[in-house]
Structure 1
Amino acid sequence: MRARFAISVVAAACVTATSLPVAASGAATPAPTGTAVSAQDRAFLNQAAQGAQFEVATGRLAANRAASAAVQSFGRRMVTDHGKELQQLQSLDQTLGVTLSSTPGTDQRNLTAIWTSVRGGAFDCSYAPAIYAAHGMDVHVFEQEAEHADNAQVRQFAAAQLPVLRQHLQLASKNLGNLNCAAPAPAATPS
C-alpha cells in the first residue's frame, strides 16, 4: 500500500512538472525585442512561480514532518532557495509587467494536502521521490527556457536558477538512497 501511495504521488508530481511549458526545439518563432513577453514566457514564469510556492510550502512540511534529518534539511533548503526564487520572480513581474499566480497549482495544492496528513518515514517515502522527479523536470524545463525564451530577462532568470536546481536534484537523489519508510514520526514541534 505504501509503495502504491508513493508511486501515485510521484506520478502526480510528474504530471505537475510536465505541465510546465517547454520551448519547441527548432521552432522558427521570431524573438520579440525589448521587454515584450511572449505567451510562452508568461506561461513559464507563471508555472515557475507556482512551483516555487509549492516548494516553499512543502519544504516547510518536510522540515517538520520528515523522519530523516537529511530530508528535514532538504526541506529547509527548499524554503530558503525557492523563497529567493520567488523574490526574483516578483522583481521580474514588476519589471516586465507580468502578473504571476500567487498560489501553487491545483495538483500541487492536492499534494500539499496529502503531505499535511503524513509524518515520519511515510512522509519521507512519498515526498522524496516526488520532489526528485519534479526537480528533474524543472532542470529540463529551465534549460529549455534558458536557451529558447523569447525575452532576454526570462532567459537570464532561467539560466541563473539552473545551478541551484541542479544542486537540488543531486540532494534529492541522495535522499532517495537513505529512505526508511517505517521510521517513526518526529516529535511535534511547538508552533
Structure 2
Amino acid sequence: MTRILASTALALLLLAGCAETQKATDTTVAAAKAQVNPTLSTSDAAFITAAARGGMAEVQLGQLAQTNGRSTAVKRFGQRMVTDHGRANQDLAALAQQKQISLPDGIGAEHQQTYDALAKLHGRAFDRAYAKAMVQDHRSDLQAYQTEAQSGTDADVKAFAARNVPVLQEHLRLAQRLPQH
C-alpha cells in the first residue's frame, strides 16, 4: 500500500511539473507571438498599429459621411477619405507584412466612440460634427506622422509616414473648409 501511495505521489508530482512546464511554454510562445519582429522598435510598431486603426476609421467615417451627410462638400470629402485612406491602408498592410507585424482587427475604442456618435446624426448636424471630428483627427494624425517621419527608427516606416504627411496636410486643409457652423 505504501508503494502504491509513493507511486501515486510521484506521478502527481510529475504531472504537476508537466503542467508548470506547459504553462511556461505557453507563456514563452505567447511572448514570441506578441513580438514577431524584435528588430522593429516599440514606437515604430505602435505607430503602425495606430496608423492602421486610424486609417480604417477614416474609411468607415468617410462611408458614413456619404450616407448621413447633407452637404455636397461633406459627401465629397467622405469619398476622398475612403479613396485616400483606403490606398494608404493597402500600403500600410504591405509594410506590416514586410515587417512581420500583425495589424489590429478593428478601429479601436476611441474611433468607435466617434463613429457611434456620428452614426446617430444626419443632415446639417452630421455635417458639423463630422467636420469638427475630421479637423481634430487630422491634426492628431498629422502630428503623429510628422513625428514618425522625423524620429522613427525604421527607414521603411519613416518613409511611409513621410509619404503620407502631405496627404494628411491636404486633408486637414479640406476638413477646415467644411461647414462647421
**Bin of the TM-score, shorter chain as denominator length:** 0.7 to 0.9
Say whether 1:70 aligns with 2:90.
no
1:89 to 80, 89, 92: 92
- Give the equivalent residue in structure 2 for 1:36: 39
- Give the equivalent residue in structure 2 for 1:128: 131
Task: Using the TM superposition, give the Cα deviation of residue 114 of structure 1 relative to its aligned residue in structure 2, in angstroms.
Answer: 1.5
Instruction: Please give the residue correspondences for 1:165-180 in structure 2 after superposition, counting only pairs within 5 Å.
Output: 165-175=168-178, 178-179=179-180
Instruction: Please give the residue correspondences for 1:1-191 in structure 2 after superposition, counting only pairs within 5 Å.
Output: 36-175=39-178, 178-179=179-180
Q: 2:123 & 2:167 partners in 1: Cα distance?
A: 27
Task: Using the TM superposition, give the Cα deviation of residue 107 of structure 1 relative to its aligned residue in structure 2, in angstroms.
Answer: 1.3
- Give the secondary structure class of the aligned counterpart of 1:36: coil
Which deviates further from its counterpart, 47-56 or 116-125?
Answer: 116-125
Gaps of 5+ in 1: 1-34, 181-191
**2:141 partner amino acid:** D
- Give the secondary structure class of the aligned counterpart of 2:177: helix
Q: How many residues align?
A: 145
Task: Using the TM superposition, give the Cα deviation of residue 36 of structure 1 relative to its aligned residue in structure 2, in angstroms.
Answer: 2.4
- Give the secondary structure class of the aligned counterpart of 2:66: helix
Gaps of 5+ in 2: 1-37
- Give the equivalent residue in structure 2 for 1:15: none
Give the fraction of aligned pairs with identical amino acids, expressed as a percent.
37
Q: 1:78 & 1:69 partners in 2: Cα distance?
A: 14
- Contact map agreement 2:132 2:180 (CA 8 A) in 1: no
Q: 2:113 & 2:143 partners in 1: Cα distance?
A: 24
Of structures 1 and 2, the one with the larger relative CO (CA 8 A, separation 6+) is: 1
Q: Which has the higher helix share?
A: 2
Q: 1:89 & 1:37 partners in 2: Cα distance?
A: 15
Q: Show CA shifts across 1:116-168 (max 9, x none).
A: 11100010111101110110111111111001101000000000011110110
- Contact map agreement 1:49 1:102 (CA 8 A) in 2: no
- Contact map agreement 1:131 1:172 (CA 8 A) in 2: yes
Rg larger in 1 or in 2? 2
